[in-house]
Amino acid sequence: MDIPKDRFYTKTHEWALPEGDTVLVGITDYAQDALGDVVYVELPEVGRAVEKGEAVAVVESVKTASDIYAPVAGEIVEVNLALEKTPELVNQDPYGEGWIFRLKPRDMGDLDELLDAGGYQEVLESEA
């Protein structure tokens, strides 16, 4: 399972990639594989203030629907509109074109509480 080392992770299978004073958020390769073919992504509203752990988006697959949580507190500043027409990007390129939203964290330091690639690998092993 692919776990890039350039970003942070949550136990609930989101990744968070810092870019300047924002972070890009999506779901991991493991998560997209477990969900199966994604058919719809419900995106949050731009400008919405969110708390850490708050459900902000929903990914629906042929199997199930799953909430996507904010990895840190902040404000939604951009969403991936491409997913409205082509939600399968989440399956095809979970760490790139399949990103879901961009968040401006209240405090970039909060990211330090998240898992690194090694920590996330351990989460996956403990779940197997």
Partner 1 sequence: MSYPLIFERSRKGRRGLKLVKEVPEAEALLPKEYLREAPPRLPEVDELTLVRHYTGLSRRQVGVDTTFYPLGSCTMKYNPKLHEEAARLFADLHPYQDPKTAQGALALMWELGEYLKALTGMDAITLEPAAGAHGELTGILVIRAYHEDRGEGRTRRVVLVPDSAHGSNPATASMAGYQVKEVPSGPDGEVDLEALKRELGPHVAALMLTNPNTLGLFERRILEISRLCKEAGVQLYYDGANLNAIMGWARPGDMGFDVVHLNLHKTFTVPHGGGGPGSGPVGVKAHLAPYLPVPLVAKGEEGFYLDFDRPKSIGRVRSFYGNFLALVRAWAYIRTLGLPGLKKAAALAVLNARYLKELLKEKGYRIPYDGPCMHEFVAQPPQGFRALDLAKGLLELGFHPPTVYFPLIVKEALMVEPTETESKETLEAFAEAMGELLRKPKEWLENAPYTTPVRRLDELRANKRPKLTYFDEG
Q: How far apart are CA 119 and CA 114, in angstroms?
A: 9
Contact flag: residue 64 with partner 1 (CB under 8 A): yes
Rule CB under 8 A: which of 66-85 touch partner 1? 66-67
Binding-site member from 65, 82, 116, 122 for partner 1 (CB under 8 A)? 65
Report how many residues bind partner 1 under the rule CB under 8 A. Answer: 12
The Cα–Cα gap between 52 and 118 comes to: 22
Q: Is 123 in the site for partner 1 (CB under 8 A)?
A: no
Q: Which of 33, 49, 63, 84 binds partner 1 (CB under 8 A)?
A: 63
Give the nearest distance from C-beta 115 to partner 1 in angstroms.
17
DSSP 37-67: SEEEEEPPPTT-EE-TT-EEEEEEESS-EEE
Provide the minimum distance between the beta carbon of 28 and partner 1 in the complex, in angstroms, as a whole number.
Answer: 15
C-beta neighbour count of 17 within 10 angstroms = 18
Verify binding: residue 39, partner 1, rule CB under 8 A. Answer: yes
In the complex, the smallest distance separating the C-beta of residue 113 from partner 1, rounded to whole angstroms, is 17
In one-letter notation, the amino acid at residue 83 is L
Q: What gap in Å lies between CA 62 and CA 36, rounded to an integer?
A: 7
